[in-house]
Amino acid sequence: MFFADIIGLMLGLLSARSIDKDMARVTLAPETISPRVLGEATEPRPVPRLQENTAGPDVLAGSYLVVDLESGQMLAERDAASARPIASLTKLLTALTIVNDSGYDPERVLTVSGNAVAAGRQGAAMDLLEGEQLRVRDLLAGMLINSANDAAVALAEGTAGTEKDFAERMNETAKNLGLTETAMKNASGLDEEGHVSSARDVALMMAASWTDPQLGIYLRAAKMTVSSADGKTSHELTTTNKLLGVRADILAGKTGYTDAAGQNLAVVAEEDGAPIAAVVLGSTDRFGDMENLINWTFWAYNWTNESQ
C-alpha cells in the first residue's frame, strides 16, 4: 500500500492548490481526466483484478512499471525501484518544481541566456535565441511538448539564478513527493554522474504533472505554437511522443533519450474509465515496449467495483 499512500498524499496536495481557479486559465479536455484521480470519487472505486494467467508483458526495457492511478496498485514491474538515468523525463520534475515555486507566475517574462542556447545544441530544443524573451508558460510548453533543453535551462536560471541552484530545489520537490531514488544534477536530463531516478519515481512525477492544471495541457498537446514576448519570433512545437494522437487510450506522455539512459517514455493511458501510468526506462524500442505494456495491462486486468 506504500505506492497508494504516496499517490493519495500527492493528489491531496494538488487538490488543495485551488485547482478550480487555475482551471480557468487553461483549456483542458475534461473527458480525458477521470474525476476519481483528482480525489473526487462519489461512487465505489473500481479496482484492477488479474483475469489471465500470464508470464507478463513482452518488454525490452531494463526497467518498467504500470500502476493503477485510482488504487495505487502496481500491475506490472521490472526493477521499478532501481536508480538509473532517465534523460528528459527529468523535465517532469523540472516542471513540478517551477509551478510549485513560491514566486511562480506563468506570465512572467524570462530572458534566454547563452547557457540555455548551448544546452539546446546538445539535444532537443525549441531553437531559442540568446537574449530572446518568453513567458514562463510558453517555456513550459516548449520543455514538455518539444522536450526542449534550452527551455529547461531558461526556466531553471529564471527561477533560481543558476541551474545548479535550481537542481537543489528539484531535489526538495522530489523529497516532498516521496521520490526515494531521485537525485537531480540538472534541469534538462543531460547525462551527468549521479543524475538518476527510478520507474516508480517517474510514475509519481507523471501522475503529479498530468493532474496539475498548469502542466497537464502540455503533456496532452500534440502541437502548439508559442511566441516571444514581443511577438516577433514564433516557435512551432511538436510532441516527441509518437503514440499521442495515434492511440486513443494514450492521454498524455513525456519522452527521454540520452546515450547513458537509452530510450525512455512515461504515459498516462485509460481504457473504460481505468487510468494507469506506465513507464519504460532503458529501452531500445520505447514506443514498441509501451504499446506491448499497455496492451498487456488492459488484456490481463479487469476493473471491477470493490463490492463485486
CATH number at residue 137: 3.40.710.10
What total number of domains does the chain contain?
1
Per-residue confidence (pLDDT) for residue 26, from 0 to 100 = 25
- pLDDT above 90 coverage of the chain, percent: 80
* Domain hosting residue 221, numbered range: 2-305
Mean pLDDT, to the nearest integer, of 182-188?
98
Per-residue confidence (pLDDT) for residue 29, from 0 to 100 = 26
Measure Cα distances from 139 to 35, 67, 266 in Å: 28, 30, 20
What's the pLDDT band for 271 if we cut at 50, 70, 90? very high
What's the pLDDT band for 308 if we cut at 50, 70, 90? low
Mean pLDDT, to the nearest integer, of 257-282?
97
What's the pLDDT band for 7 if we cut at 50, 70, 90? low
Per-residue confidence (pLDDT) for residue 10, from 0 to 100 = 46
State yes or no: pLDDT of 108 exceeds 90: yes
Per-residue confidence (pLDDT) for residue 258, from 0 to 100 = 97
Measure Cα distances from 32 to 4, 68, 271, 272 in Å: 21, 16, 10, 11
Per-residue confidence (pLDDT) for residue 305, from 0 to 100 = 78
Mean pLDDT, to the nearest integer, of 28-52?
52
Closest CA to 147 of 277, 242, 241: 241
Grid cell at residue 153: 535551462
Measure Cα distances from 144 to 92, 215, 219, 237 in Å: 8, 8, 6, 10
State yes or no: pLDDT of 216 exceeds 70: yes
Strand arrangement of the beta sheet that strand 63-68 belongs to: 74-78, 63-68, 274-283, 262-271, 250-258
Per-residue confidence (pLDDT) for residue 46, from 0 to 100 = 83
How confident is the prediction for the chain on average, in pLDDT? 87
